[in-house]
Amino acid sequence: MKALFLRDLSLSFRAGGGFGLGLAFFLLVAVLVPLGVGADVAVLARIAPGVLWVGALLSCLLTLDRMFALDREDGTLDLLATSPLPMEGVVAVKAMAHWVATGLALTLVSPVLGVLLNLAPAGQGWLVLSLLLGTPALSVIGAFGAALTVGLKRGGLLLGLLVLPMYVPTLIFGAEVVRRGAAGLEVATPLAMLAGITAGAVALLPFAAAAAIRANLR
């Protein structure tokens, strides 16, 4: 399991691994929005939570299709399925590696982008916390979507259509935490919902994803 985690991480950091891709995309979204919306500081501050969360969602989506498709192409997935490792564990570990390479990385750079979008200082901490709590759900839900589309050629587009609607609850509560935090309101309710969605997704979806992969390998 540990070997699989380390291998997936090192693959994502090496050439063509897609680690920089998600980060650069997140950065671009945050830079492009002020250019498009205009430099009205008040408007930017108001939309910052939503823009940052949508940006995190999309850049997470960018590297999802590689999670199983590459392993499927070179036969690794077949060999992992016949190895002593349980498929549920394989899915969970791969989702975790995906989270470290995307979700965690996005979380760490988000304060910089928060400043760029003029997010209120009070919201900065909540932005980091909400991303930290919410992005694991993005990776696990994404793993489920990637498992469903793993047998398909050019499954990337379908994956987006499949996964983005499932991201809605995380997006709503994640952005709500930042919005309330920035306005100095009470954040406990959306924060608890966000954590609950993540906990539920992490607990249940590896089983669903493993079943989908087994069906797709036939």
Partner 1 sequence: MVARVQNLSCARGGIAVLSGVTFAVSPGQAIMLRGPNGVGKTTLLRCIAGLQPALAGRVDLPEAGVVYAAHADGVKAVLSVAENLAFWAAVQGARGIGAAIAAMDLGPLADRPAQNLSAGQRRRLGLARLLLGAPGALWLMDEPTVSLDAASVGLVERAVAAHLAAGGMALIATHLDLAVPGVAVLDLQAFRARAGTGVGAGTADAFAGPVE
Number of residues this chain uses to bind partner 1 (CB under 8 A) = 24
Secondary structure class of 14 (helix, strand, coil) = coil
211 binds partner 1 (CB under 8 A): no
Q: How far is the CB of 85 from partner 1 (least distance, A)?
A: 6
- Asked whether the beta carbons of 178 and 119 are under 8 A apart, the reply is yes
Of 160, 161, 191, 22, which is closest to residue 30 (Cα–Cα)? Answer: 22
Q: How far is the CB of 215 from partner 1 (least distance, A)?
A: 10
Among 43, 83, 125, 199, binds partner 1 (CB under 8 A): 83
Q: How far is the CB of 81 from partner 1 (least distance, A)?
A: 6
Among 4, 138, 143, 163, binds partner 1 (CB under 8 A): 4
Among the residue ranges 72-80, 161-169, 178-186, 196-204, the one whose residues contact partner 1 (CB under 8 A): 72-80
Element (H, E) at 97: helix 87-99
189 binds partner 1 (CB under 8 A): no
Give CA–CA dist 62/22, Å, rounded.
Answer: 6
Nearer to partner 1 (CB atom), residue 15 or residue 188? 15
| Cα dihedral 198, 169, 180, 62 in deg (nearest 10) | 80
Q: Which residues contact 125 (CB under 8 A, 6 or more apart)?
A: 181
Residue whose structure tokens are 């990637």: 146
Given the rule CB under 8 A, which residues bind partner 1? 2-4, 7, 10-11, 14-17, 73-76, 78-85, 217-218
